[in-house]
Chain A
Amino acid sequence: MSIRIYIATTEGPVEVQRITREDPNVRSVICLDGTAKALPISRAYDSFVKEPTGIIQRSYLHCAFRMDVDKPITDGNSWQLGAFVAHALFQENQLASSEDKVLNAIWLSGEVDRDLNVRPVDHIEEKLLASKDLFERLRAEDVRVFCFIPGGAGLVPDDDFLERMNIDGDMLRLESIITVKRILNRFDLEDVYTKLEEEKAAAAEDAGDDVDEGEEIDLYKPDLNAPEPIKDHRMAKIIALVVCIIALFTGLYLQFEDNIIALRSGSLKIGISELRANDDKGCTEPNIIPLSRDGNAFPASPLDGLCALEITINNVGAPAYMWAYAQRIEDGHLLMADRESLLQPELQKGLIGWRLILPKNLKRSIDYRVVALASSSPLGDAVNRMIRRTVENGKPDWEAIKAQFSEEKITVISTLHSLEY
């Protein structure tokens, strides 16, 4: 099923109507609504497409395209992310034309650099507001909309704004991203990063070739003055590694989902840190990398090298009964739910946290919501009612859950986060 692309602008969303491969001797061009009117940004688009500056030719091996859009795009570079993803879909024959009926649409704003990182752009809120009518129309047509914006401080609108926009994480989702990879993976599009890596490797190899051919080193010639090799106890290391892996798997089996480690006690703000494998000691002594929150979401965490996540709540107000859980969006599965602290409630303030250890064989992206609760009464009963309702419905209805907690005078905050495979 094809997917429709909307490029966000402050004047409203611009639909990508089609892309056509053109004669390699012409420049790439963006035209208005199938007419011969080339938009002024065509020059920038040509640079975006054609090598050596362009990334489309490098990724999709053609140097001249024509893109038709339904409304003008005047200036700036925030069209680049939408244009790139439109090309990625076009490559897989999944770019919807104006006439196609679609189930999914992607709304994007962002600049894309040569390494396919998504760079910050301005006026995100204005662009979202300018697209409100479109979002409502698509919702009425049962079309799911994925909005992608750049990650970074101050780029993601605050919770109130998102609520006003009716961004519910289901039919209308907003995600901040730092690279294009997340979108390619999510929609199962060609992984152009492989080409990028190959290109980098080739460049490095070329650089190596350029290093003074007169100083070739014969790797096989023994150096008579070299000291005796140090014995590295390789066998012992391998055995130790195997023991560690077995211990790790055993630990993961026991700990994932149920065995969540309560860390420490502290306003009701959610924090997420990545625990990434240390270069020397792997996941036994991981590096802790706090993520910077942007409004309603944290930047996605690539699974590669990710050992665990640390989720914290910071309560700088009066002591309260606090609890947090992480729930997979697609089916409501609880990834983190600390039963102990529910069964033995106590008033707390300051920072409390949980560690979510990830299975090593996790080979899929997961989108989930972290929810933090605080109340002057123990939370066990309210949480049980929430879980029962979720189980009955089969899928979490976040608006209903939020309404339930509000009725029960429970302070509730939430954030979205994704694990990216």
Chain B
Amino acid sequence: MTDTIPKHAETIFHMLDHFDSLMQKTDTSHNIIGFSELYAYATQGDHVPTPALKEALSSSLKMRRDLKRLLNKQSIATMMRAAAASSGQIERREGDGFVITLRPSQADKNQIYLLIHSEDRDDSPSLLFVEEENGPFHRLVIEDFYDGEAQILLSVQDDIVKALRKPKVDVILR
């Protein structure tokens, strides 16, 4: 037996151990996100997502697909990504009887009104999801939808505002 064989074995052992720990962590993070938690996140405005769920949604493609499937079944309205000809920032979207508009605040240039207006629907959405292309989901609670309308004041730096302005995003109202 030469000296090199134990060194190789040690290296292989360390790599396998590292691989196992990586796999173990991934499995653990997925295991702690139950369906009920994902369902609550997708459908209940008062649900506060755990850090584990946020982490899973940002890092796991599978988790995002699960959420997308769930939302497709549970949504009130879906606004698919803007036409390919769209250029620049999007300030208005419409679809399934709803219109979403962004209007800058006159009082503060760093703030913006997000208006959600129902044109011919009786439904009152309580959540808005924005799915970026190959990116994370953004979720916004709609607290005060009344008279067919909701208005939410946001910072222009808010991730959901930035996402809504991009052409290639899907918007889902739940």
Contacts and interface: CB of A to CB of B under 8 A. Distances in A.
Interface of A: 18, 20-23, 25-27, 29, 31, 34, 36-38, 42-43, 66, 68
B76 interface: no
B140 to A, nearest CB: 13
Contacts of B22: none
Contact of B151 (A21, A26, A34): A26
Contacts of B111: 36
B151 A23 contact: no
B155 to A, nearest CB: 5
B86 to A, nearest CB: 22
Nearest to B149: A27
A26 B103 contact: yes
A149 B113 CA distance: 35
Contact of B105 (A18, A22, A27, A42): A22
Nearest to A29: B153
B154 A68 contact: no
With most chain A CB atoms within 10 A of its CB, the pick from B101, B104, B105 is B105
Size category of the B interface is 10 to 19
Given A36-B153, A43-B144, A25 B106 contact: no
A106 to B, nearest CB: 22
Given A43-B144, A43-B146, A22 B155 contact: no
Interface string B102-139: 01111110010101000000000000000000000000
B159 to A, nearest CB: 14
Contact of B115 (A18, A20, A25): A25
Given A25-B103, A36-B153, 19 more contacts: A18-B107, A20-B106, A20-B107, A22-B105, A22-B106, A23-B103, A23-B104, A23-B106, A23-B113, A25-B101, A26-B115, A29-B153, A36-B108, A36-B154, A42-B144, A66-B105, A66-B106, A66-B107, A68-B107
Interface string B27-61: 00000000000000000000000000000000000
Contacts of A37: 153
Contacts of A38: 151-153
Contacts of A34: 108
A20 B105 CA distance: 9
Q: Which 9 A-B pairs have the closest CB atoms?
A: A20-B107, A36-B153, A66-B107, A26-B113, A36-B111, A27-B151, A38-B153, A22-B106, A23-B103
A31 B153 contact: yes
Nearest to A21: B106
Contacts of B146: 43
25 contacts: A18-B107, A20-B106, A20-B107, A21-B106, A22-B107, A23-B103, A23-B113, A25-B101, A26-B115, A26-B151, A27-B149, A27-B151, A29-B151, A29-B153, A31-B153, A34-B108, A36-B108, A36-B111, A36-B154, A37-B153, A38-B153, A42-B144, A43-B144, A43-B146, A68-B107
B45 to A, nearest CB: 15
Contacts of A22: 105-107
Contacts of A36: 108, 111, 153-155
Contacts of B149: 27
A68 B106 CA distance: 13
A22 B112 CA distance: 11
B123 to A, nearest CB: 19
Contacts of A21: 106
A20 B109 CA distance: 12
Contacts of B144: 42-43
A207 to B, nearest CB: 28
Nearest to B144: A43
Interface string B152-169: 111100000000000000
With most chain A CB atoms within 10 A of its CB, the pick from B104, B108, B113, B154 is B113
Contacts of A68: 107
A15 B111 CA distance: 22
A27 B103 CA distance: 11
B146 to A, nearest CB: 7
A42 B150 CA distance: 12
Nearest to B151: A27
Contacts of B113: 23, 26
Contacts of B106: 20-23, 66
Nearest to B153: A36
A102 to B, nearest CB: 21
B113 to A, nearest CB: 5
Contacts of A66: 105-107
Contacts of B115: 25-26
Contacts of B154: 36
Contacts of B155: 36
Contacts of A26: 103, 113, 115, 151
A47 to B, nearest CB: 10
Nearest to B155: A36
B103 to A, nearest CB: 5
Nearest to A18: B107
A23 B151 CA distance: 13
With most chain A CB atoms within 10 A of its CB, the pick from B106, B115, B152 is B106
